Every structure is written in C-alpha cells, then in structure tokens.
Amino acid sequence: MEKLAINGGTPLRRIPFPSRNPYGQEEIHELTEAINSQNLFALSGNKVVGFEKRFAEKYNSQFAAACSSGTAALHLSIAALDLDPGSEIITCPVTDFGTIAGLIFQGCIPIFADWKADTYNVDPDDIERKITDKTKAIIVVQLFGNPCDMDRIVAIAKKHHLPLIEDCCQAYFTYYKDKLVGTFGDIGCFSMQQSKHLCSGEGGICITNNEKYAMRMCLFRDKGWENRGKWGPRAYSFLGLNYRMNELTGAVCLAQLKKSEFAAKKRHELGMLLNDQIKDVPGINPAPVGPHGYHSFWAYAFKVFGYDAELFSKALSAEGVPSSYGYTGKPIYLCTEALTKKKTFGTSGYPFNSQYYDKMIEYKEGLCPVAEKELTRIVTVGIHEYWSNRDVLDSAAAIRKVGAGLERQ
Ligand SMILES: Cc1ncc(COP(=O)(O)O)c(C=O)c1O
C-alpha cells in the first residue's frame, strides 16, 4: 500500500489546482460604463435595474429586487410577508446564519426541521411534523447546490397555506425536474458573495411572481420610502432599512450573469464525474443528488464512514487536494449565541422571551439529530468551474489513496 503524504509519503498531486478567477474584461467593461455615467446610485442608474430585469428574465420571474447581500435578500423576503412578532418559521438546520438573521430581526422564531438521512437536505416529513398554529412560513435551503425534495415541500406549503421561501444562495441555475430552484416557492433568494456561482464580492437578489411581495421588498430595502423622488414632506410607509445595491455591484453582476449559467453547468459535470469516480470506494458516500435534482456543486461534500472526517480531510490536503471537513461544524442553532443564549436585543431575549411568544424554546444539542451526526462525517473538496477533468480524476485518486491508507474503525 502506498504511503500517505500525511505520513511522509509522496503527495499524489504535486501541481497546484487552478485558482478561481471569476472577473475579467466583461466586468471591467460594465464597471467602466458605470463610472463614466457619473452616477453610482441604483435608483437613478441602469446597471442594477438592468441586472434585475435580466435576472428575472433568466428565471422567468415577473419581479426581481436586488439588494446588498444574501442575508439582506432573506431579510427582504421575510419583511415582504409582514408577519407578527412571535410567528414561527420552519427552516433548515445546516446553513449560513444569513438564512435566519433577518427573521429574528423581524421578531420571528426559527424552528429547525431535521435533515433526511443521506440527503444533506431538509426532511419534508419533519417540516410537516413541526407545523403548529403559530407557523407562518417555510424557508428551505438548497444546500451545496443540491435541490431539496421540492414536490413534497411545495405540496406541504400549499396544504397548510404557508408562504414558501427558497434560499438559493448556493444554488444558481440549479434544476429540480425541469424547473429552476428559486421558482418553486413564493420568493427565491440569492447571494452574490465572492464564493457564489454568480459573484460580485457582496450582493443579493430576490425573485417573485407576487406583486405585493415585490413592492414590499423594494420599499423595505429603501427604508420604506414610499414617495422617493418627490420633493416635500417625506413618507415612509413602514419600518425599513437601507439594503440597496449600488451601480458598481450591479455592473459586475450584469457581467457575471452571462457566465454563471456556464459556472453552474460546468460544476454539475465535474461534480457528477467525481461522484462516479468514487462511487465504489469503501467507507465513502459520494455527494448525494436528489432523484429529480441537478446538483450545481457550490461545494462538493462527500461523507466518510468509519474514518475520522478531520483526519481524512487533512490526509487529502496533504495529498495535494485542498479539502475541509464538517462544513459549519455544527447546525446553525448551535453556532450562534443569538439562539443558544438568546443574545438579541439588550437583555430582553426578544422575540423568544417576550409577550409575543408564549412557548419556552431552547436551541440545544438534539434538536436535529440526523444533521448533527451527519455533519461530523462530511468532507468537502473545493470544486469549481475552472477545474478540468484531470483535476477531478486526481482528486478521486487521492480520495481512493487516503481511503485505502487510513485505518477504518
Ligand atoms: C445558504 C446561504 N444562505 C445565506 C447566505 C448569506 O449570504 P451573504 O453572505 O451574501 O449575506 C449564504 C452565504 O454565505 C448562504 O450560503
């Protein structure tokens, strides 16, 4: 058996993987136009508006509202629903904090539905089990670019008359059956943070076919300013923030939109190739792909059995394949003191310990046992659209080598 690099052997891969260089002449061209226009304010420019229009067209959606981040996009979507404080929103346990920050600011209570084993995605049955008379919405996360079971989730949302929000921050141009994720629910939310398929450093966008939601999202991102553009007494129709996108970001997003479909498709092909290459390796489950899903591999996450995921990942990195393990480490409800210690607004504990919520809720280990356990077995590889098939084959060979070289418990 070949000696592992982590034990002093020769690394399987000795040349670096290609770096991801998402920006080029197209972005420079759009940015130059924005600068030359002498206006970087979206509401009087054409880059952000143009991006919204084209993004909506790509997704066959009637409306789009751009904003400053994915977190802002998720906040916009909750603000659009105009819920009372104390409303419960069922969501997914493994995600970025941006999925839930906005709902807590809106006075809502996140309720976490567990993963369905071996899918890295939410279990529709657990969503349904967790619905109460206080449930007012569902937010699903299309994690890593792998679609959830949208047939079941849409049916549950319809049956219980609940608005459905899709967090697609990691899932651009990702299909479930023949339809893009982000268009199944009432609102789809996206992030343009640097690591995303469509990136501009920071940014966000929401899509919807509901005019009322679209209007509220556009107002909410602009402080609720109803009569903007008119001189004289100002009118702010409800509590809002400044979550506007600026023209520089809009310019980059416009250029990126032309590339991101390719990025998602290429990642899909590379990820599926890697899945195929490691499908027979003992102690390894390739990245799960739902039965009707088209995975766009924001990250390639496989599962190890009988190995320590941290050690496996370190051994893989030593072989020259940069790798990480555990994704967020723990479900998001264990990662933030806003939930574990209810550190929200001063010492109030609002919205949890407040007149608006008469249940005692605790965010602690055991809430979502499947997600808690499976996270500890995840190893990730940073696949991206600049990789070649050779890069995938080397990664697969390194995974096989590490699998054979490490002792299984
Ligand atoms: C699933 C998910 N939701 C929400 C967010 C928040 O996006 P942003 O970082 O742009 O605020 C991210 C990004 O990290 C994400 O991956």
Q: pLDDT tens for residues 212-235?
A: 999 999 999 999 999 998 889 999
Q: Establish if 13 belongs to a structural domain.
A: no
Q: Establish if 288 belongs to a structural domain.
A: no
Ligand 1 binding site (Cβ under 6 Å of any ligand atom): 69-71, 95-96, 98-99, 141, 167, 169-170, 191, 193, 204
Residue 155 in tokens: 């049916």
Ligand 1 atom nearest the C-alpha of 69 is: 10
CA 226 vs CA 62, 106, 211, 215, 300: distances in Å? 21, 20, 16, 10, 44
Q: Establish if 384 belongs to a structural domain.
A: no
- Residue 1, pLDDT > 80, answer no
- Residue 326, pLDDT > 80, answer yes
What percentage of the chain exceeds 90 in pLDDT? 98
CA of 383 to the centre of ligand 1 (A): 18
Most ligand 1 atoms within 8 A of CB, residue of 96, 144, 146 to mutate? 96
Q: At what angle do helices 47-58 and 25-36 cross, to 10 degrees?
A: 140
Q: For residue 376, name the pLDDT band (cuts at 50, 70, 90).
A: very high
CA of 70 to the centre of ligand 1 (A): 5
Q: What is the pLDDT of residue 57?
A: 98
Q: For residue 190, name the pLDDT band (cuts at 50, 70, 90).
A: very high
CA of 121 to the centre of ligand 1 (A): 16
pTM over 0.85: yes
Q: Establish if 320 belongs to a structural domain.
A: no
CA 389 vs CA 18, 278, 366, 399: distances in Å? 12, 14, 40, 15
- What does the pLDDT average to over 250-259? 97
Q: Establish if 358 belongs to a structural domain.
A: no
Q: Establish if 118 belongs to a structural domain.
A: yes
CA of 316 to the centre of ligand 1 (A): 27
Ligand 1 atom nearest the C-alpha of 298 is: 16
CA of 293 to the centre of ligand 1 (A): 21
SS3 annotation, the chain: CCCCHHHCCCCCCCCCCCCCCCCCHHHHHHHHHHHHCCCCCHHHCCHHHHHHHHHHHHCCCCEEEEECCHHHHHHHHHHHHCCCCCCEEEECCCCCCHHHHHHHHCCCEEEECCEECCCCEECHHHHHHCCCCCEEEEEEECHHHCCCCHHHHHHHHHHCCCCEEEECCCCCCCEECCEECCCCCCEEEEECCCCCCCCCCCCEEEEECCHHHHHHHHHHCECCECCCCCCCCCCECCCCCECCCCHHHHHHHHHHHHHHHHHHHHHHHHHHHHHHHHCCCCCEECCCCCCCECCCCCCEEEEECCCCHHHHHHHHHHCCCCEEECCCCCCHHHHCHHHHCCCCCCCCCCCCCECCECCCCCCCCCCCHHHHHHHCCEEEECCCCCCCHHHHHHHHHHHHHHHHHCCCC
Most ligand 1 atoms within 8 A of CB, residue of 174, 181, 191 to mutate? 191
Most ligand 1 atoms within 8 A of CB, residue of 92, 193, 200 to mutate? 193
Q: For residue 113, name the pLDDT band (cuts at 50, 70, 90).
A: very high
Q: What's the domain range around 74?
A: 25-258
Q: Establish if 353 belongs to a structural domain.
A: no
Q: What is the pLDDT of residue 383?
A: 95
Ligand 1 atom nearest the C-alpha of 141 is: 1
CA of 360 to the centre of ligand 1 (A): 28
The 10s digit of each residue's pLDDT in 141-174 is 999 999 999 999 999 999 999 999 999 999 999 9
Q: Share the mean pLDDT of the chain.
A: 97
CA of 192 to the centre of ligand 1 (A): 8
- Residue 293, pLDDT > 90, answer no
Q: What is the pLDDT of residue 296?
A: 98
Q: Establish if 216 belongs to a structural domain.
A: yes
Q: What is the pLDDT of residue 246?
A: 98
- Residue 178, pLDDT > 80, answer yes
Query: Measuring from atom 7 of ligand 1, which residue has the nearest CA?
Result: 70
Q: What is the total count of domains within the chain? A: 1
- What does the pLDDT average to over 267-277? 98
Q: What is the pLDDT of residue 229?
A: 87
CATH code, domain with 156? 3.40.640.10
CA 325 vs CA 7, 161, 207, 297: distances in Å? 19, 38, 32, 16
CA of 211 to the centre of ligand 1 (A): 25
Higher-confidence residue: 72 or 408? 72
CA of 204 to the centre of ligand 1 (A): 9
CA distance 14 to 295: 29
